[in-house]
Structure 1
Amino acid sequence: MDKQLRGPLIVSIIIIAAGIAILAVLNDQWQTDAVSINNPMINEVESGNETLDLKTIIHNAEKSVVQIEGQNEQNTKTGSGFIYNGKGDIITNAHVIKNADVINVRTANGHVYPAAVIGKGEETDIAVIRVPQLADQSALTLEDEEKAETGDDVIALGSPHGFQNTVTLGIISGTERNFTVDGFNYENAYQISAQITEGNSGGPLINRETGNVIGVNAVGTSDGTIGFSIPSNDIYKQVTTWSNEANNDQLNFKNTDDITSAENPEKLIEDAEYVAEYFFESISIRDYVGAYTLLGSAMQSADSYPDFREGYTQYVDFQYSDLKSNVTEDNQVKITAEVTAETKQSEEETQKEEITYKLTIDRENDQLKIMNISTDNE
């Protein structure tokens, strides 16, 4: 071989050999090192698919669920309903308000309002009533397209036997059930394992995954083991039409003064304890706005919302128990509750504190409000 070519050839061979060696080392490193991918779009999609927290779904839904009392001279029929738009319109069952001369609506925070019928089915067990005072309040999203499937997890809310905002869990155990009860035709109804008993009628059936209303609870078996719910997408067009056509000036509302007549002590305690429980549950789930709205005007004037909120934000856990109540001579309700509050001391350490809460609840503008709160720390 020419001596002039031998030198460059040797150099080329050395370079190629070195390149092969370097590639071999890099390949070995790639196989042993973990590959880290930082893709915001992937992270966003994964977060969006997370199931909503059950306690949050229930608490938010309870704000929109109401107890309905349909009264006439003979009797009072109790059922449930839920706000579904910004006009204060409430969906319920037609059989709940059938033959009612007066319709009263009791909200989650204990307020009572008169309601007027804006639409009622003759054969379909659906009705819509309106409470103008509840316009722009928390409303549930009514599913108008998606059909539920057998096996879907569901939450049923209502007021069985007068126990407001009772929650039962279950699944869709069947679909397209057709039957007739008391003159109402039920077509394509969902069969659910969540218990439906007296007072649940008209309450929402909520999809556990989305938090949206997929049905209106209507009928249950006598033993409460099987319930039936009317699919929301079957009634969406009708209830929307009723709402759009209704004019407040043409509706008949009973005077609120006639509703807030003298109450018996047992009923007053029941309603006041519901307000107290709603207050504590709001604090527990960090819904400080909801808790603040339960305070009387004097308390709100003395304590601004930021100051009120600041008094509770240090708690990482807040649980109440042992409500004890009594009615005073001037019809105030005194409620005592034992609270366990947990504060964060460090990244790994928390501290529990036992607090006795004393609430005074009374009427203000015909609504039950918390007039005073005092605490004793142990």
Structure 2
Amino acid sequence: MTFFQKRFSLLVTITLLFAGAVFLYHTYQQTFDEPLTAEPVVTYEPTNNRTQTLQQIIHEAQKNVVKISVETPTSTRVGSGFLYNNRGDIITNAHVIENASVVEVTLSTTETYPAAIVGMSKEKDIAVIRVPQLINQRPMTIDTTQSIDIGTDILALGSPLGYQNSVSVGIISGTNRSFDIDGYSYDEVYQISSNITHGNSGGPLIDQTTGKVIGINSAGISDTDIGFSIPIKDVIDEVTDWSANTSNDALTFPSTIHNQLTSIDDYKEDSYYLVQYFIDSLAIHDYINAYALLGSDYQSNHNYTDFREHYISLKTIDLIEQQQAAVEDDQWAFTVLVEEFRAEQEPETDTYTFKVGLENDQLKIIAYTNNHDEA
């Protein structure tokens, strides 16, 4: 390269550097001369996929968990089940309804209806029964896809020893368990740290995180916190096939509920339960469910909008004590003490007086008042 060429290359380099410096200077000036603006930023926090509180998950599940009362030619028994479709079909265990001459279903609202058997497999200990009155009621959500691991937090719902809508909290403590009990074979079932006792059988096993049904509670070991649940993914095809291919015309529904209770005294326990469920519904802000527990005469004088408005400021309500009830005019009359906490107010103890009676053969809260004003 000649001396002239070297000088030319150096001159070009210096010129480019100077031009770059000028460009950067002008860019710097323009940046700081312009007003500063900020666009909104959306951030995403990691979650555990739970969109409801544990109390909400339990409350929503209880709406579709039923107590099943069975009478056979030689005995009576109680089990559990859960609504899984909008045709009024309920999943339970075969051993709950085996040899049944009468099957009755009691809802969380204490309403009781006769049921017919849709299908049953003693080999897998599963069964489906149908209650036409539950057609189009929103069912529980079933999860047949996820793989369940040891340590998964679960809820076991049912009616142990006849205590309706009881909940046990635990974990999946084992998988792929296989054994035989009383002529029933269980293959690759979940072991859970919640005991399954008389009345629990047929109830749903629920994933605490998602609120979805993952199993059917089926067996337990006495005096231990060990239970076993059939994975719903292993039997859903069979129960779905029964439901889809069985019409109501092919089923036998009892025309009346067997040994129907006629005295309000027979409903004492259910009356206490109904009031507790009413308070629980208010506590979870499920005003629609609470309002549905009221009798038609009460509802005709208190519309839902006013009822909801009365409780809209209620943050929490807890039942402290239920006092002794007495029969008045074929109705249970009793008082309960509750602690109410309304927005911008201090917690206070309130006294409610309830009257519970029969309406169209179903138990309802006929009337109630509190010590401040009528609800």
**What TM-score comes out, normalization by structure 1 length?**
0.87
RMSD between aligned residues? 2.8
Q: Which residue of 2 aligns with 1:321?
A: 320
Contact 2:150 2:174 in 1 (8 A): yes
**Post-superposition offset of 1:47:** 6.5
Q: Which residue of 1 aligns with 2:7?
A: none
- What does the per-residue CA deviation read over 1:284-303, in whole Å, with 9 as the maximum and x for residues that have no partner? 00000000111101011111
- What does the per-residue CA deviation read over 1:33-59, in whole Å, with 9 as the maximum and x for residues that have no partner? xx99713xx54x856834531000000
Contact 1:219 1:229 in 2 (8 A): yes
> Which ranges in structure 1 are unaligned for 5 or more consecutive residues?
27-34
Which letter maps to 1:65?
Answer: V
Paired residue secondary structure (1:88): strand
Query: Aligned partners of 2:362, 2:206: CA distance in 1, in Å?
Result: 29
Q: Which residue of 2 aligns with 1:121?
A: 121
Change (3 A) 1:81 1:46: same
Q: Which residue of 2 aligns with 1:353?
A: 348
Which letter maps to 1:74?
Answer: T
**What TM-score comes out, normalization by structure 2 length?**
0.87
Which letter maps to 1:199?
Answer: G
Q: Which residue of 2 aligns with 1:30?
A: none
Which letter maps to 2:271?
Answer: A
**Post-superposition offset of 1:355:** 1.2
Query: Aligned partners of 1:329, 1:140: CA distance in 2, in Å?
Result: 38
Change (3 A) 1:123 1:332: same
Contact 1:217 1:227 in 2 (8 A): yes
- What does the per-residue CA deviation read over 1:333-375, in whole Å, with 9 as the maximum and x for residues that have no partner? 1131111111222xxxx42232100110000011000110111
Q: Which residue of 1 aligns with 2:295?
A: 296
- What does the per-residue CA deviation read over 1:70-90, in whole Å, with 9 as the maximum and x for residues that have no partner? 102422110100001101100
Query: Aligned partners of 2:39, 2:149: CA distance in 1, in Å?
Result: 38
Which letter maps to 2:256?
Answer: T
Which letter maps to 1:358?
Answer: T
- What does the per-residue CA deviation read over 1:69-126, in whole Å, with 9 as the maximum and x for residues that have no partner? 1102422110100001101100000000111110011110111100000000021100
- What does the per-residue CA deviation read over 1:196-245, in whole Å, with 9 as the maximum and x for residues that have no partner? 21111000000011110000000000113100000000010001001101
**Post-superposition offset of 1:308:** 0.8
Which letter maps to 1:286?
Answer: H
**Post-superposition offset of 1:154:** 0.5
Change (3 A) 1:222 1:258: closer
Query: Aligned partners of 1:367, 1:50: CA distance in 2, in Å?
Result: 36
Paired residue secondary structure (1:134): strand
**What is the number of equivalent residue pairs in this alignment?**
354
Q: Which residue of 1 aligns with 2:103?
A: 103
Which letter maps to 2:55?
Answer: K
Q: Which residue of 2 aligns with 1:32?
A: none
Contact 1:325 1:333 in 2 (8 A): no
Paired residue secondary structure (2:108): coil
Q: Which residue of 1 aligns with 2:132?
A: 132
Contact 2:176 2:189 in 1 (8 A): yes
Q: Which residue of 1 aligns with 2:3?
A: none
Change (3 A) 1:63 1:18: closer
Between 138-147 and 206-215, the greater mean CA deviation after superposition: 138-147
**Post-superposition offset of 1:190:** 0.1
Paired residue secondary structure (1:131): strand
Contact 2:264 2:330 in 1 (8 A): no
- What does the per-residue CA deviation read over 1:254-302, in whole Å, with 9 as the maximum and x for residues that have no partner? 123545233583x411011111111110000000000011110101111
Query: Aligned partners of 1:18, 1:246: CA distance in 2, in Å?
Result: 79
Paired residue secondary structure (1:55): helix
1:1-378 counterparts in 2 under 5 A?
19=25, 38-39=41-42, 43=44, 46=46, 49-50=49-50, 52-256=52-256, 258-263=258-263, 265=265, 267-328=266-327, 330-345=329-344, 350-377=345-372
Between 325-334 and 236-245, the greater mean CA deviation after superposition: 325-334
Paired residue secondary structure (1:277): helix
Which letter maps to 1:368?
Answer: L
> Which ranges in structure 2 are unaligned for 5 or more consecutive residues?
1-10, 33-37
Between 71-80 and 171-180, the greater mean CA deviation after superposition: 71-80
Contact 1:147 1:214 in 2 (8 A): no
Paired residue secondary structure (1:198): coil
**Post-superposition offset of 1:330:** 4.0
Percent identity over the alignment is 43
Query: Aligned partners of 1:180, 1:235: CA distance in 2, in Å?
Result: 18
Between 299-308 and 46-55, the greater mean CA deviation after superposition: 46-55
Contact 2:323 2:336 in 1 (8 A): yes
Query: Aligned partners of 1:204, 1:235: CA distance in 2, in Å?
Result: 13
Query: Aligned partners of 1:37, 1:184: CA distance in 2, in Å?
Result: 61
Paired residue secondary structure (1:299): helix
Contact 1:176 1:188 in 2 (8 A): yes
Which letter maps to 1:103?
Answer: V
Which letter maps to 1:225?
Answer: D
Query: Aligned partners of 1:303, 1:46: CA distance in 2, in Å?
Result: 44
Paired residue secondary structure (2:279): helix
